[in-house]
Each structure stands twice: as structure tokens, then as C-alpha cells.
Structure 1
Amino acid sequence: MSPRKKAVKPSVQLGAVVTDTGVQFGVYSETAEKIWVCLFDEQDVETGKIEMSKGDGHVWTVHVDGLTSGARYGLRADGPYDRAQGYYFDPNKLLVDPYARRIDRTFVRSPRLRLPRPESVDTAPVMPKAFVQGPYNTDKPKLTTERPNLIYELNVRPFSMRHPSVQGPLRGTVAALTTHRVLDHLKHIGVDVVELMPVAGWIDDGHLPSLGLTNVWGYNPVTYFAPDPRVMPRGPQELRALTELYREAGIRVVLDVVYNHTGEGDSDGPVLSMKGLDARTYYRHVEVDGQMHMVNDAGTGNTLQCDHPAVQDLVVDSLKYWVTEYGIAGFRFDLATILGRSMNGFSPDAKLLERIRTDKILKDCLLIAEPWDPGPGGYHVGRFGEPFMEWNDRYRDKVRRFWKGEASTLNGLATRLAGSADQFNHDGRKPSASVNFLAAHDGFTLADLVSYEDKHNQANGEDNRDGHSTNYSWNNGVEGPTDDPAILAARDRDIRALLATLFVSHGTPMLTAGDEFGRTQGGNNNAYAQDNEITWLDWENADGALVDYVASLSAFRRAHPALRSDDFLTGDRTGGLKDVMWLRPDGLEMSSRDWNEPDGSTLGMFLHEAGEIMLVWFNRKHEPVEVSLPAESGLTFEVKLVSAADTSIGIKSGHLTLPSRSVVILAAKAE
């Protein structure tokens, strides 16, 4: 049956919606003069061009009779063309529907995508087409805001490309994560939340094709509903199957989402979707000397205008879609401060953040903010409020600086161990709001942190200019690879001490995939464009002993409420004992002078929490240190865990010798 146009009520759902008699399309644009739905056959030939009608609320609609699920389509829009004023209308540009729920191919860079309108070059041959997706699930899955025991940040392609149990076409895909060995590994190390790095459709950065590189991180989105076929080539069912399998295993799947910018770049970037539909609505602009310039708070050329109602609807609608259609249990918001920005700066009470917090579906999701962006006044750790959790880069840096050996770092270490009260102890928030991490996708891996003094990003093609230069890293004597057994042993000892610190800290621990077995990126601390052996996890050479050690740390934390209590450690008394006492090596409580000691290298954390008494010692010195146990009457101590491999220690006459570069955990009980 030939499709035909039919009048539609203005209050319609945006995107392509299958009805009893066809498909209803809805698109938002304030400044377009014409918009068409263009239909394509399986040979990519344009078979129909149907004009939409503008109704109330700037919503353009059309109903196409006879069209069915699986039909392929795109949009074209006409209107003013004046880049200096923020108008990019060009009917030669085929556009992806912002509400497209599935696309037929990946986005590929092409010069024609950014050609000016007078060139009259059709982009349909190089653009993905959207599929009309049939009726989708709207049931709210069982959700919980319970704080995780361990978050595991995972990039689908690097994680699975070299996994021994993943074969052929499954490599690099979400389906690879459903293999038994992958799930068994996650369960073994105690993961209960998997945080998938972006899986929505993205495009490579403009400079990468000429370098022979591709973006493997996915932080350059074009679509917000449609998965990228690179990681879900068999369609949405891959993600549905994953979330169902993991839910049965007690693991929630959280998505990393990028609502701060898109891959359409600045005024010279490609026209792919929202830029061609209504750039001045979807992207923030500022007027300078009579011209409209895209604001670049995200550092990528454009910034979503998240204080505009249409953009807020796009964000909230897409988040709810991932939850109801795919069973996603929560979200990590990249550069989340932009969701709370207006022209006046950031506010934690911004309308979009409030809508996310109070939506009847999203309020029960796990919500994690990356609480900064590179724009002016963009750093806001601790300001997002409940129920958000927040990545805590101060935790990362203070712990690194202590173990690196920097002077006067005991106070900073203790503050982070105690739950980062300086950032989160307000408005009813708890230590678990702090997502504690040592390393993440952005920066050195944990193994590289103790193997490289400096970044080595030459493979990125930018002469090592990219990536952060301040990493608080050290190399233990040799920069990079070595066969020296003493240096290798020192690095292993440092990794184990760092991991033990993470798991005894108040807050929510997070690991990045592969750090549990010593993955390396060869010193590259910005490997976003390395879809190759630099980022692909080397499972064949994984350090199995380190994996088992991480599993033991994770299990130990879960078994001991004192280590995961969701109360800030303040030094207040509970049942006769302070909830925490900070100890010097002689077993006495730290004084103000001790905290300011530049050479302070050994610290005891004496905990009385959740009905348990535990003592944790941290020794960063390169030689053993004898410490005295606190002289609390009626208590006996037992060594429970030593971070240094193949090391056993005992208590003699109230004294204990801490191995060099180690963390030692003891439990106390009444005699």
C-alpha cells in the first residue's frame, strides 16, 4: 500500500510510533519552515518524501498510512540558512530523528556532511537510516536505589575483543557480556553494578579518520535512544538479554550517558540531526558582535541547551526509554553539571535535574553524576544532592598522592577514608554518595599509575599534547615495561596497597574493567581513539592472583559492616569508644602536630562501627615499620588481611611489624 499523509492531533509522542493503520511521526522544531519524512527501501533508495505539518507547541506531525514496523526513514528540514546566526537548514542534508529508536548502520565521517548548503550535495548515501520500531515495552522494571557494593566500569569493545570465551562476531558486542565466563568473573570479584560506557549511536571525532583512528569510548553521541550497531549489531535484544541475565545474578546494569554535547561539533561540524532541525533550540548559543556562537562548555564544540523544555523532554524521555525498554537500572551522567547549567551557570536545583530526581520511573534508578565540566565554574563535586551519587576525583588524587610519597598527605588520606565529609556531609547525604575510585577510563590504568611517571600518548597523533599531565603517578624506578623482578614486585605491592585502601574507605568503590588483573595501556592516559590492543583487555596474560586478591577484598568488605557503614567517621564516641581514632605508629592518638608532620608515612584507622571493632594500618614507607596496638583493655587483635603478597605477620607483645608499602587489617574482640 502506498503511504499517504493524514492529519494528526498536535499532542503526539515524538519519534516514529506504530499505530493500528500506519506510523505516526512527530518532530520538534521552532524555526523550521518545512520538514519532510523520507522513506528508504532496503537498497537505500529514497522511495517517498512526505511533508509534515506544524501544529501547536512547535511539534511537526504526519501519519503515514500503510507503513509498518521495520520501515527505514530519515528527515529533511528547510528554513533559514545563516551559520553566523545559528541556522543550518539544508534540505540536502538527511537528518536522523532525535527520537529514532534504532539505526541501520554506524555513523561514518564524510566531507559531504559538513558542506555548505549552496553545494547542493545530498547526504543520504552516507547517513544511517532510522528503523520504525514496533510497539515497545512500557512496564516499569523492578528498580532499587540501594547503594552498590562495587561498581565496575566497562567498555564493551575493549572488554570483549580478546576474551577467550567470546568467539567471532560476538567480540566487541553487548552479547559477548552474556557468556558464562564473563558473568562468573564479575560474580567472583563481587560486582553488583556494571556501568557500561556509552552504547548510544556515536560518530568519530573529526580529526580521527585521517589518523587511521576511531573513537572507542563513545562519548560523541548523535542518537539518544538508538544503540550503536557497533556494539549491538543484532539489535536491541542484545541489551535486553544482558539486563535480564544480570538481574537474575544480582547485578544491575547502569548506562553511561552523554547529555552535554553531540557529535555535530561546532559551526563547522557535520549536520546530522538536531543541528539541521533547530540548532538554536537544541544547542546553547551566545551573541558576540551580532553573531550567534555555539557555547563550548563541554569542550567539544557545542553544548546541549538543557534549560530548554524540548531538550529536557528529550533527555527525560530517552532515559525512561532505556529503563522501560531495556531494563536499565540507572545512569552515570557524563559532565553532569551541564544538565544543571543555564546562561547564569550551574544550579543543583535546575529544572532538568529536578525532573530526573522526581520522575516516577527515574526516581527509583541509580543516578551517578560526573560533577564537573570544562566550562567556566564547572567544578561542583558534592553539590548534586540526593539521590545522586558523584564521582569523587579528590578521593582519587588524595589517595594517589599519599602512596606516591608526597609530603603532608596524612590529613587528606584520613578525610577520604572517613567518607569525604567535607564534600558530602550536608542535606542528609551519606558517604555512599561518594563514588571512590583510583582509576577510570579517563587517565592511567591502575597498573600504569605505578609504572609511568609521565603520559605516553604518541599513538593518539597529537604529539603527546592530549591527556592530563598531572597524574600523581610514579614508576618504581623504570619508565614502563621492565623484566626487573624487584621493580615488578614493587609495582605489584603498590597496586595491592592501593586496592586495599579503596575497599576500606567509606563510600562506594568503583573499579574499571581490567584493573583487577593489571591491565596496561602502555602509559596512554587518553586512549579514547585506540580501538586496538592498547585498550583491548589482555585476558590471556591476566594476573590471576591479583584477581583473587580483589575478590578477597570485595568479600571482606561485604562481610564487615564497619568497613561499609554509611555514616561519616567523626571521632565521636559510640558506646564508650570513638567511631574512629587515628593512630600514630606508637599506638597513641594523632595530635594536631602529627597531622601536619610533612614526613608522616604511617597511619592507623581504629574503627568502632556497626558493632565491630577493626584496625587498619597504612604504611607507605619502603621499609617495614613496627607499630603498637592501642592499649584498649579487654581487646585482643587478630590479623585478617595483609595487602603485601605472600606475607604473613603476627602480633608479639602488643606490637606488629607492618611490611613495606602495605595495608594491614586487624579485627578486635573482647577477651
Structure 2
Amino acid sequence: MDAINQESLPGRSFPLGATVYPDGVNFSIFSKSSTAVELLLFAAPDDPQPSQVITLDPKHNKTFYYWHVFVPHLAAGQVYAYRVYGPYLPDQGHRFDGNKVLLDPYTTAVVGWEHYSREAAIAPGDNCPQALRSVVLDPTTYDWEGDIPLHTPYANTIIYELHVAGFTRHPNSGVAPAKRGTYAGLIEKIPYLKQLGITAVELMPIHEFDEQDARPGLRNYWGYSTLAFFAPHRAYSYSKDPLGPVNEFRDMVKAFHKAGIEVILDVVFNHTAEGNEEGPTLSFRGLENRAYYILEKDPTYYSNYTGCGNTVRANHEVVTRLILDCLRYWVDVMHVDGFRFDLASCLSRGKLGHPMEDPPLLWSIESDPVLAGVKIIAEAWDAGGLYQVGSFIGDRFAEWNGPFRDDVRRFIKSDSGAINEFALRILGSPDIFSQPDRETNRSINFVTCHDGFTLNDLVSYNDKHNEDNGEQSRDGANDNHSWNCGTEGDTKEVTIARLRDRQIRNFLTTLLLSQGTPMLLMGDEVRRTQMGNNNAYCQNNELSWFDWSLIDKNADLLRFVRGMITLNQSLELYQQERLLELSADDHKPYLLWHGLKLGKPDWGENSHSLAFSLYHPTAQEHLYVIFNADWKPLTFELPTLEPGHGWHRIVDTSLPSPEDFQHPQNAQRFQKATYPAEARSSIVLMSLPTQKGRR
């Protein structure tokens, strides 16, 4: 191994990362307090030692806080890493360790997983044979075939949250074994999503993450353990080439776009895989610990506003730049359509962890011209107590509506005192999103997501059952607003099974008939179950995977969901960008509340039913919707229609399939003046012309 490469040149500080030029590669990293840096070049991804070590001279290879070097004759595909030397003084926030091989924070591909050891990155001593390495990428060589962003408005969007691997990992997925759990495998399932009516997939974390970041004997499945923000996760790649994940991911995005489906990434900029003070040294910690992380008053310890051991110092100037560069990269180079920011409130914390009124990072994301056309969605809370739903900064951020989840669950399972909040959620949550010019559809409505019960389990379990996670069920949320409908878990009791089936349809009807952008969880449309586990982050097995046999087993529910999505997408009433009027208006869409009697809703503490009229004068759309969450049947008075029109039943969740949902062209006319709503049912009636030949 050469001690130094005589051909290397000083290079320059920008761009950060590894940049390919016709005659070589420029490398640049930020490290303010280090005293020496070595660039390691590997002949092959799995070589235990580098073939060449280039020692950077601080006089020639350092500008301000940036270390850089230009190496002629290198090209895309070159494997590299760093050693960075400096003080190891945890009580001062320094954790330099020249024994540890480090990833470039700007790396776009990571190799070395076959021999990687998280423990080796924690234990004293040299970890080079078991360390991860970066790969040089030339982003200009991919053929996008004219691919352009879709820019689907929120008002026309149906989001489907899915796990890239879990969607096709199951042996019954129909995907070839080698492609199961990969970007390539997901491409094969795009027709299913298209037929379902999905317009955007929200992918759980695909940034390179550490699967070893879990309890002994388990694997990190969800991916909320990032170690390289620019790199697609290699384990999701069918291609084994060093740059395979990058091109395969782009193939996937291109295929989704051809199908008219956007790709939104769940991004985790609030913490990293390096954990707390007992965690591994993989990249950021060994480059400049005090810049990348929020530290406690005693800087030996990491501030933990994430529940994951550390908190990224997002509003440090260098970290802000990294995050913005990363977002631009995924939009410009990888063509993604948007981002969902995990624990986004962490990104509003200042350098010392205090909440900021005007956080520079978030305002930069809001105003960045490269990001101007993409969806930006905030999970507007963190584990440190910040809760900013409805008050998140800026004009562009959409927000996960946590109260929608909780209030809809409470009403559908017949809790007392839930009626007022339920009505507000249907209307678009104006009590939460009170800005007068805010788009209603920037409320991302969901009943379930990856974090918690599936929809099947929401109606099948009163309590979480997380024993397989190895924490004696101490993990996961305790307050789920769930109801097992009479018995815990799976049952053969016909009455309970039918009630659960009806409740699932009630939840889905509410989700798809509320103002806002609906989000479905992977598999809810066919009753995917996690057997009561509401925190399956470490369950990379059939407990978490999409079981494709459920498509046939629960074909009736799948038909119902497809129909409801089609109804949502076909009506102007559900493509509104402003709140509906709450009084009759000849020019604007409006909503009128009702109870058992027209115009007389019951807002009392013990009310479990609500009806409303929806009318769009211009589009001539008129719906009458009933939600009966009571445990007894109730009869609702119907509005009188103009001559030549009649009420036609689109939805009645108490009826068996296919009567539970009928498309408008096939809908049965209902000619009585009142409608008998069965206990725990949802009804949708549509005013349609009573033409000759229509029933």
C-alpha cells in the first residue's frame, strides 16, 4: 500500500462529496476541528484494506474547514472512505477516532455490507475490514427518457404509505425470488397500485440505514436509522453492482411516473444511526461531532428529542446546507416528487435544542426554488414535547393530521364526547388549520400509518401485543383508541367478524369522504394484520410483509376501497382548495349539518350520529352522508330534491358486497323520505337524474 499518491492535486472545497470530472475525481469533506485526514481508496468493495492511502496536507488540501483533494484518473465506481484524526475529548464534544473508517456524508452509494459490523464501529480498535465504504457516482450518465415531474395537486392526490421491501417480500407476492423486496420488485406491482387508484406512494425510509440498529437478535426493518442521506438502501436493490441501487431506484421512479404515480420519500433528518454516547462511529460523529449533533450542557451526552439516542443539529449552518443539498439531489438527480419529514418539529430546534420561532432550515426548504414544485409534508411533532400541528412554519408545508386519526377512531368506536371533533375533521380541521388562505388538502388525513395498528388490528385488538419485539410490550403506543368488537384477536365468531368488517368500511368511508388529502397504509385495503403488534419496526418477516393471498380472501373489501377512491377522485366536491361554506350558496360548494331531522344535528356529549349534505352548484353534485356510530338503528330524514332527481344509494356499509358500494351509474334509487341506518353504519346517497331506464 502506498503511503501517498504522488499524482494527487490540492483539489477544491466545492462541491462537497466526490465529484467526477473528465480527468479525475475531486473529494471534499467538512471537518472543522480535526488535525489530519486520510482518503482511503479501495480496489474492490469488499477488500479488507485500502489499496492506496492519500494523506491530506493541511497546508495544501484544506480551505477554511474543508479538506479536499483531486485524484487524477479516478472515475465513477471508485470505492473510498476516510480516516479523520483529532482530539477525543467527549467532555468537550470531540469524538475523533482515527481507528474508525468513515463514510462521506455526501456519498450517493454505500458498499461493504457483507462484512459490516456495528459492534466493530463501537469497540476500540481499527474497524477497516468491517467498515462501510462510499462509492463515486457520475449522476449525468442515466437516461431518464424524457421523464418530468408530475406535479399532481394535493386536491387530486391519494397517498399510499408503503415499505419498499415489505410490499413484495412475501413468498406469495408473485415476484421472482431474487427481486422480492427490491425496487425492481416494486415496479412489477405498479399495476396493482394504479388499479387501486393511488396517485402517490409515500415510501418508508429508503436512505441507507443500519439494519443492525436494533435489539440483539432483531433487525431494523422500518429504516428510521439513517447513516447516508444521499444513498438508496442497498438491501432494496436487485442489482449487486456498486452503483446498482442508484440506477434501480431511478428505474423505479421512472416507472411510477409513466403510470401517473408520484414518489414521496419519508426522510429522517432528525437523528442518525450513530445513536447516543455509546453508539458507533460511522460518519458524522467522527467528522465533527459538535456540528452535526445537539449536545447536552455536559457535551459528553447527546440531546435526545427523537427517542432514538441523538438529535441532528439541523440549524447548524453546515448541517442545514447538507440537508438542502440532499433534498435538491433527490429532486434534481433522482426525480422524486416530494418528502415527508419524520419528526419535523426537531428541525425547528436551534443549535442548543431550543425551539426557534423562525428556524433557518425550514424557511430555506419552504423557499428553495429547486424544491418549489415538490410536495413537502411535515410530521409536526417530536419526542421532546413539541407539537406543532396547525402551527408549523410557512405557507407550503402540508401536515400529517394526527387529530384526524384520533378523533375519527374515537367517534367510529362510539366514544362519548367525540361528535364535535369528528365533524371538524370531516370539514378539513378548520380548528387546527385556521389560516384563511390555506389549502384544505394540505391536511394529510389518515386513520392508520406504519407507526401503530393496521386497520384490521384497530378493530381486532384492545391492547398492543408487542412481545416479539423483546421489550415485554413496553414499546409502542398505549393509547390507540382501538376496539376489538367483542373479543381479542382473530375470531371465528360470525357476528364479531361482520362487525369488524363493517367498522373497517366505516373508517375508510370517513377517510375518503373528508376534506383533505387521504393517506392509506399498505395492505389496509385487504386487511393486512400484524397480530396486534403496533410497533413492528424490528419485524422483518411475514408479520410485517404484504400477504398477497389477502387480495383474493378479502376481494370484497378491495372492491369497496377501489370504488371509494374512484368516487373521491371523480367528484369536484373532493378537489376543493378552500373550506366549504357552511350555509347554502348558489356559487360556492357548501356543507350543511343534519341529525335525525334535517338541519338539527345533535352536538351533545352522548351523540353518536351525524348527517350532512354536500352540494357543488357549478358541478351539480349533491351528496347526503350519514354516519351512525350508535349501537342501535336510527332513521334519518332526507332532503327533498328538485323534480327529475332522486336519491341513489352509493354506500351502505351495513349491506353485503356488492351492495355495500355501487358506482353512480349502477346505483339503486331510494324513494322513501327517510333512511333507516343500521347500527354502526355509514351511508352515502347521491342525487342523480331519474332518467328512463334508471332504477
The answer to whether the superposition gives a TM-score over 0.5 is yes
Contact 1:339 1:353 in 2 (8 A): yes
Counterpart of 1:154? 162
Deviation at 1:20, TM superposition (A): 2.2
1:583 aligns with 2:594: yes
1:193 aligns with 2:194: no
CA RMSD of aligned residues (A): 2.2
Contact 2:78 2:136 in 1 (8 A): yes
Counterpart of 1:475? 484
Could you tell me which amino acid in structure 1 is paired with residue 39 of structure 2? V
Contact 2:363 2:394 in 1 (8 A): no
Counterpart of 2:233? 228
Which of 103, 125, 132 aligns to 2:110? It is: 103
Counterpart of 1:598? 605
| Long gaps (5+) in structure 2 | 661-667, 691-695
Mapped to 2, the partners of 1:520 and 1:348 lie a distance apart of 41
Deviation at 1:607, TM superposition (A): 1.2
Mapped to 2, the partners of 1:443 and 1:190 lie a distance apart of 24
| Long gaps (5+) in structure 1 | none
Could you tell me which amino acid in structure 1 is paired with residue 363 of structure 2? E
1:41 aligns with 2:43: yes
- Aligned CA distance change for structure 1 residues 423 and 20 (closer, same or farther; 3 Å): same
- Write out per-residue CA displacement over residues 117-163 of structure 1, whole angstroms, 9 at most, x where no aligned residue: xx4x1111111211111243699943526214210001011111115
Could you tell me which amino acid in structure 2 is paired with residue 297 of structure 1? Y
Mapped to 2, the partners of 1:213 and 1:428 lie a distance apart of 47
Could you tell me which amino acid in structure 2 is paired with residue 574 of structure 1? D
- Secondary structure of the corresponding residue to residue 261 of structure 1: coil
- Aligned CA distance change for structure 1 residues 666 and 58 (closer, same or farther; 3 Å): same
- Secondary structure of the corresponding residue to residue 51 of structure 2: strand
Q: With the length of structure 2 as denominator, give the TM-score of the two structures.
A: 0.90
- Aligned CA distance change for structure 1 residues 489 and 469 (closer, same or farther; 3 Å): same
Contact 2:182 2:237 in 1 (8 A): yes
Counterpart of 1:312? 320
- Aligned CA distance change for structure 1 residues 348 and 662 (closer, same or farther; 3 Å): farther
1:80 aligns with 2:87: yes
- Aligned CA distance change for structure 1 residues 445 and 24 (closer, same or farther; 3 Å): same
- Aligned CA distance change for structure 1 residues 616 and 389 (closer, same or farther; 3 Å): same
Counterpart of 1:66? 73
- Write out per-residue CA displacement over residues 479-531 of structure 1, whole angstroms, 9 at most, x where no aligned residue: 00111122111110100111001000000000011001000000000000000
Counterpart of 1:128? 132
Contact 1:151 1:509 in 2 (8 A): yes
- Aligned CA distance change for structure 1 residues 622 and 427 (closer, same or farther; 3 Å): closer
Which of 550, 554, 563 aligns to 1:541? It is: 550
Contact 1:51 1:62 in 2 (8 A): no
Contact 2:16 2:106 in 1 (8 A): yes
Q: With the length of structure 1 as denominator, give the TM-score of the two structures.
A: 0.93
1:556 aligns with 2:567: yes
1:19 aligns with 2:21: yes
What count of residue pairs does the alignment treat as equivalent? 657
Counterpart of 2:693? none
Contact 2:120 2:127 in 1 (8 A): yes
1:383-462 paired onto structure 2 within 5 Å: 383-426=392-435, 428-462=437-471
- Aligned CA distance change for structure 1 residues 8 and 241 (closer, same or farther; 3 Å): same
- Write out per-residue CA displacement over residues 182-205 of structure 1, whole angstroms, 9 at most, x where no aligned residue: 122111111000111111111136
- Write out per-residue CA displacement over residues 48-71 of structure 1, whole angstroms, 9 at most, x where no aligned residue: 111224533411101112222211
- Secondary structure of the corresponding residue to residue 26 of structure 2: strand
Counterpart of 2:220? 215
Mapped to 2, the partners of 1:57 and 1:421 lie a distance apart of 50
1:142 aligns with 2:161: no
| Stretch deviating more after TM superposition (323-332 or 642-651) | 642-651
- Aligned CA distance change for structure 1 residues 344 and 259 (closer, same or farther; 3 Å): closer
Mapped to 1, the partners of 2:303 and 2:522 lie a distance apart of 34
Deviation at 1:207, TM superposition (A): 4.6
Could you tell me which amino acid in structure 2 is paired with residue 252 of structure 1? E
Counterpart of 2:344? 336
1:170 aligns with 2:174: no
- Write out per-residue CA displacement over residues 16-66 of structure 1, whole angstroms, 9 at most, x where no aligned residue: 111222211000111111111111122333111112245334111011122
Contact 1:222 1:264 in 2 (8 A): yes
Mapped to 2, the partners of 1:261 and 1:246 lie a distance apart of 29
| Stretch deviating more after TM superposition (51-60 or 597-606) | 51-60
1:471-550 paired onto structure 2 within 5 Å: 471-542=480-551, 543-550=554-561
Contact 2:437 2:578 in 1 (8 A): no
Counterpart of 2:631? 622
Could you tell me which amino acid in structure 1 is paired with residue 164 of structure 2? V
1:325 aligns with 2:333: yes
Deviation at 1:576, TM superposition (A): 8.5
Counterpart of 1:637? 647
Counterpart of 1:294? 302
Deviation at 1:9, TM superposition (A): 5.4
Mapped to 2, the partners of 1:137 and 1:192 lie a distance apart of 29
- Aligned CA distance change for structure 1 residues 376 and 661 (closer, same or farther; 3 Å): closer
Mapped to 2, the partners of 1:589 and 1:570 lie a distance apart of 17
Deviation at 1:602, TM superposition (A): 1.5
1:351 aligns with 2:360: yes
- Secondary structure of the corresponding residue to residue 227 of structure 2: coil
| Stretch deviating more after TM superposition (614-623 or 138-147) | 138-147
Contact 1:3 1:66 in 2 (8 A): no
- Aligned CA distance change for structure 1 residues 578 and 39 (closer, same or farther; 3 Å): closer
Contact 1:5 1:62 in 2 (8 A): no
Mapped to 1, the partners of 2:67 and 2:556 lie a distance apart of 60
Contact 2:363 2:393 in 1 (8 A): no
Counterpart of 1:613? 622
- Aligned CA distance change for structure 1 residues 528 and 643 (closer, same or farther; 3 Å): same
Mapped to 2, the partners of 1:136 and 1:274 lie a distance apart of 27
- Aligned CA distance change for structure 1 residues 260 and 296 (closer, same or farther; 3 Å): same
- Write out per-residue CA displacement over residues 529-564 of structure 1, whole angstroms, 9 at most, x where no aligned residue: 000011011111331111111000000111111233
Contact 1:201 1:227 in 2 (8 A): yes
Counterpart of 1:90? 97
Counterpart of 2:582? 571
Mapped to 2, the partners of 1:146 and 1:207 lie a distance apart of 38
Mapped to 2, the partners of 1:98 and 1:10 lie a distance apart of 17
Contact 1:345 1:377 in 2 (8 A): no
Contact 2:83 2:98 in 1 (8 A): yes
Counterpart of 1:246? 256
Mapped to 1, the partners of 2:683 and 2:486 lie a distance apart of 25
- Secondary structure of the corresponding residue to residue 287 of structure 2: helix
Counterpart of 1:112? 120
Deviation at 1:109, TM superposition (A): 4.1
Mapped to 2, the partners of 1:251 and 1:187 lie a distance apart of 8
| Stretch deviating more after TM superposition (229-238 or 562-571) | 562-571
Mapped to 2, the partners of 1:629 and 1:357 lie a distance apart of 46
| Stretch deviating more after TM superposition (480-489 or 53-62) | 53-62
Mapped to 1, the partners of 2:326 and 2:311 lie a distance apart of 18
- Aligned CA distance change for structure 1 residues 106 and 127 (closer, same or farther; 3 Å): same
1:204 aligns with 2:211: yes
- Aligned CA distance change for structure 1 residues 37 and 63 (closer, same or farther; 3 Å): same
Mapped to 1, the partners of 2:20 and 2:224 lie a distance apart of 30
